[in-house]
Structure 1
């Protein structure tokens, strides 16, 4: 008989809170950034691309979808913006303290996901304000959404690189102990 895999050992390894050595963390990070770059202002990229290729009803659908998302984002920013900013900074501060002062790896991992995502939220809000301020529609609207997507992808690339570097450092540090 071959070696027996103990269910408890298997589950403990799969739910390990040492995030940087856990495959699920890296899968989650990839899904997070993939979703962030696919949904610009809550509008899927394929709709933006199809509106540029086909025009007509698809372009009208894009403008309607963007209008709904812009109004929603600006309403949330106006009604609860100060509270949300304070809450996000509170959570990020707690994660920094737990992760980088007290050495909790799980808090470091969550911080390395949340901090850039808060920047993505700010970028989306800035884009929403530009759309309203410049009264964009048609090709100009599509170009702004594509530029925002590119900025999010660049931020994602930098974030994933820095997270991978920090994760390798933590794995080497933990492996040395």
Structure 2
């Protein structure tokens, strides 16, 4: 057996039957819902409980991340949007028109993450516009996390349904 066959046996390109894909999906959404605009959500809870220095730290790290995100969006936002649309369209066509399962899996990971990216940009703009601090900032970050979790839950559900359909379809066709 050559190294090429060994690698493709280890990393099965039929994504929906591969345990690594489901682990990556779970880790992606767990990480995404924990890091709200680049701020670990435990800082929000700590600021809510303790106030004082924890509150100041939350406001500082949020301000830095909001300014960073908005700077990137203002400087190269249209280019990033164009590239993301191109990439997602390419994955959708390869996955669902040409029936390449790996592209389907990447699209089912990437499209909901792009929605979270747009949500993050919207939340960052609201935080900057309203100059959120204190309780208002914590509520804004909590709301963002809730929406992210809703997108993640729906994404996992749709991905699981599509993955089961693909596995059953290939199982029926394979026998």
Structure 2 length as normaliser, TM-score? 0.95
Instruction: Give the one of 75, 78, 81 matched to 1:82.
Output: 78
1:141 maps onto 2:162 in alignment: no
2:146 paired with 1:150:
yes
Write the mapping of 1:58-137 to structure 2, written as runs, cut at 5 A. 58-137=54-133
Partner Cα distance (2:2, 2:43) in 1:
45
Distance in 2 (alpha carbons) for counterparts of 1:91 and 1:12:
24
Query: What RMSD, in angstroms, separates the aligned Cα atoms of the two structures?
Result: 1.4
Counterpart of 1:27 (choices 18, 23, 27) is: 23
Could you tell me which residue of structure 2 aligns to residue 3 of structure 1? none
Q: Which runs of 5+ in 2 are unaligned?
A: none
CA apart distance, 1:176: 1.0
* Distance across 2 between alignment mates of 1:80 and 1:152: 24
Structure 1 residue runs without a partner (length 5+): 1-5
Task: Tell me how far 1:14 sits from its aligned partner.
Answer: 2.6
Q: How many residues align?
A: 172
Partner of 1:166: 162
Residue aligned with 2:132, SS: coil
Distance apart, 1:135 and its partner CA: 1.1
Q: Secondary structure at the match of 2:84?
A: helix
* TM-score normalised by L of structure 1: 0.94
- 1:18 aligned to 2:14? yes
1:71 and 1:35 map into 2 onto residues whose CA distance is 21
